[in-house]
A = this chain, B = another copy of it.
Amino acid sequence: MEQSFLAYLRGRCRSLPQVSVGIGDDAAVIEPPTGQLIACTDQIIDGTDFRSQQLAPDHSLADVGYKSMAINLSDIAAMGAVPTSALVTLSLPKTNATRIAGEVYEGILQAAEEFQVAIAGGDISTYEGPLAITVTLLGHVPPNAAWLRRSAELGDAVLVTGAVGGSILGRHLRPNPRVELAQILRDSVNVHGAIDISDGLSLDLDRLCAASGVGIELNIATIPIHDDAIVLSEKTGRTPFEHAWSDGEDFELILTMNQADADKVLEMPLPCEITQIGKMISRTGLWKHEGTKLVRLSPQGYIH
């Protein structure tokens, strides 16, 4: 099916100036980035990252395709980068391969259009296994200006976008990668450390701290809890906070910057909510105040 599907796909993919030669040659020819190149790759697999037989109501394989792009767009946003082009690899079950590929690509192309990403190439195979989608996304940042996990600084304010918890109710298939926000912040302030929340707020906070060699004092009451976490807590018996703390796949950003920049950001009109949840301290790990004492918190989330 590969050749005929690729012919169909060439017709569906819009030309964008960043890709000179797209699908159909041995490799794609892409215009050089301004600044440095940013590249990431993430796969999602049926049965592990979604369940095609048990999708939430109103969801389809197009959402799965959208997700495969969105999780990579979130990684690009977490670097403060602009996404430009993608290579998409589909591993398809042999039964209904063409129909599945078509449905998945509806969502991939929707995300590509929404974020002005060119589909530069890819690969398609059928096999004895579950649907798996691997996206490699390319983007760019100004020279030496990527936001890194290791660049958070002592005294930094720690901010989080949106609200977290309960994404499993369906939101994890249609996250909002914070690509636009990242560009607004890049133009306005000096972001130090950044990471996206894929495995849980606390686990990814902990990773950011570990990479930067600092810790964080959280103001627990300020952590923005998503309505989904409240709905889910009624089913699970766990508290909404527990879901916010440890659920994965929020695809929000954790960002650090000096307090003056944070104060500026908190006053700016932005395309999404942003909340200060703590500040970076020298004592490593995650902490909260209880009275005058600092109490250590345990990171929880999805361990691969």
Produce 1/0 per residue, A133-162, CB < 8 A to B: 010111111001010111000000000000
| Assembly CA distance A120 to B45 (angstroms) | 22
| Assembly CA distance A111 to B123 (angstroms) | 21
Q: Which residues of B contact A136 (CB under 8 A)?
A: 39, 41, 87, 136
Known: A75-B26, A79-B25. A130 touches B128 (CB 8 A): yes
Known: A29-B36, A32-B33. A43 touches B125 (CB 8 A): yes
Helix, strand, loop or mixed for chain A's interface? Answer: strand
Q: Which residues of B contact A85 (CB under 8 A)?
A: 39
Known: A27-B81, A127-B45, A196-B26. A3 touches B303 (CB 8 A): yes
| Assembly CA distance A35 to B20 (angstroms) | 12
Counting CB contacts under 8 A, is A100 at the interface? no
Counting CB contacts under 8 A, is A185 at the interface? no
Q: Which residues of B contact A121 (CB under 8 A)?
A: 39-41
- A129 near B45 with CB under 8 A, answer yes
Q: Which residues of B contact A144 (CB under 8 A)?
A: 20
Q: Which residues of B contact A195 (CB under 8 A)?
A: 26
Q: Which residues of B contact A30 (CB under 8 A)?
A: 36-39
Counting CB contacts under 8 A, is A132 at the interface? yes
Q: Which residues of B contact A196 (CB under 8 A)?
A: 26
Q: Assign chain A's interface to a size class.
A: 35 or more
- A89 near B43 with CB under 8 A, answer yes
Counting CB contacts under 8 A, is A184 at the interface? no
Counting CB contacts under 8 A, is A91 at the interface? yes
| Assembly CA distance A24 to B132 (angstroms) | 23
- B37 near A87 with CB under 8 A, answer no
Nearest CB in chain B: distance from A136 CB, A: 4
- A37 near B40 with CB under 8 A, answer no
Nearest CB in chain B: distance from A124 CB, A: 7
Counting CB contacts under 8 A, is A221 at the interface? no
11 pairs from A and B in contact (CB 8 Å cutoff)? A20-B144, A25-B150, A26-B79, A27-B39, A28-B40, A32-B33, A33-B37, A41-B136, A43-B91, A127-B130, A128-B129
